[in-house]
Amino acid sequence: MNFALTDDEKAVLDTARKFAREVMRPKAAHCDETNTFPKDIIQAAAELGLVNMNIPVELGGAGLSHQAQAIICEELGWGCAGMATSMIANDLALLPILIGGNAEQKERLVKPFTQGFKLTSFALTEPGAGSDVAGLRCTARRDGDFYVVNGQKQWITNGEYADQYSVFCTTDPAQRHKGLMCLVVEGRPQGLTVGRHENKMGQRASNTVTLTFEDVRVPVKNRLGEEGDGFRIAMETLDNSRPTTAMVAVGIARAAMEHALDYSKQRQQFGKPIADFQGIQFMLADMATDIQAARLLCFQSAWMLDNGQRNTLISSYAKRFAADMGMRVTTDAVQVLGGYGYSKEYPVEKLMRDAKLIQIYEGTSQVQRLVIARELLRGSMSPSGF
């Protein structure tokens, strides 16, 4: 196993670290308080190569390894999880095209993202279909060289600002996963309505909206693969994105641990710093250990992708463990700060609210357990990944 980065990857990591510290962090509390999407910051990140990290060199992208992308995502999560989610949502939405698209589609629908700032959304979830992806109801009816799309998508990150949407729909809801396909919707065609920005608990810097499709005409040439390929494309997309999404939780947790560590050295009770109490020390020790364990699971699942291996099981370990770890560590960080931790004057309560989302999106922690159990029971993958 090799955790070493190339010189180019080290340079991007330094860029991410500096950007998180100098640009994201200073604006994080303001965006959270005002529920504002900082498009200028996302654009600045894109110009530095911190958005669309997964576009291969042959399409004009940086072609970063999955391991490098994961390491960068920790820094972005450390800077501000809401902003990080909007940044990686772009990579998420391009994945179905990279996985299921043909050469012409990649050139036409991915390459423009390397030539100027554009946002795109991954539109899978619906009001009635979240964990049960095969139950989605957004329909696509063939009409000559077009599909006519009708339905609703819910909780779509970047949806208000997107120039393109990777939309999962069905030709026949009764066929469940066999009826799914992915269509790429360009721009804002007639019949596509974007709902209001959601008022969320955390990650409030990320833009989240509903999309309504009413007789939206999408050219057949924008269908990825064949009718019926949508479920496979969606699942492969999520296998790919889990290591980076999980690393956002690692970044949030690291930020919380750093605040707790600093505070514990300053805060005096019973005549000494609370860091002198074993009860506090054990919390800090568990935080650090669990953060590192999550980081290493993410590295292993990213490494598997970089080496052409199916990572479904290990990436679900990573997402499940990192998301639950992020919630636990941020809750403990609030505990270390006591009453001050519960106040909006200190940054840890925001980290706790931000961490919660990672247990929910891109497959809840329960769904990750379903995937893990299914893989174990099938015996199709070694539980260690080796």
Binding site for ligand FAD (CB under 6 A): 89, 121-125, 130-131, 155-157, 200, 208, 357, 360-364, 366-367, 370
Is the Cβ of residue 15 or residue 365 nearer to ligand FAD in the bound state? 365
Q: How far is the CB of 201 from ligand FAD (least distance, A)?
A: 9
Q: How far is the CB of 363 from ligand FAD (least distance, A)?
A: 6
Tokens matching residue 57: 């060199």
Is the Cβ of residue 105 or residue 120 nearer to ligand FAD in the bound state? 120
Nearest CA to 326 out of 370, 357, 285, 302 is that of 357
Contact 215/148 with Cβ under 8 angstroms? yes
Dihedral, 226, 232, 233, 234 alpha carbons, nearest 10: 130
236 catalytically annotated: no
Catalytic residue among 75, 227, 362, 375: 362
DSSP letters, 36-83, are ---HHHHHHHHHTT-SSTT--GGGTS----HHHHHHHHHHHHHH-HHH
Is the Cβ of residue 135 or residue 273 nearer to ligand FAD in the bound state? 135
At position 127, the amino acid (one-letter code) is P
Question: Which strand (E) or helix (H) includes residue 213?
Answer: strand 208-219
Is the Cβ of residue 212 or residue 309 nearer to ligand FAD in the bound state? 212
Q: How far is the CB of 194 from ligand FAD (least distance, A)?
A: 13
Q: How far is the CB of 283 from ligand FAD (least distance, A)?
A: 27
Compute the radius of gyration of the chain from its Cα atoms. 21
Nearest CA to 85 out of 21, 155, 18, 167 is that of 155
| Residues catalogued as catalytic | 362
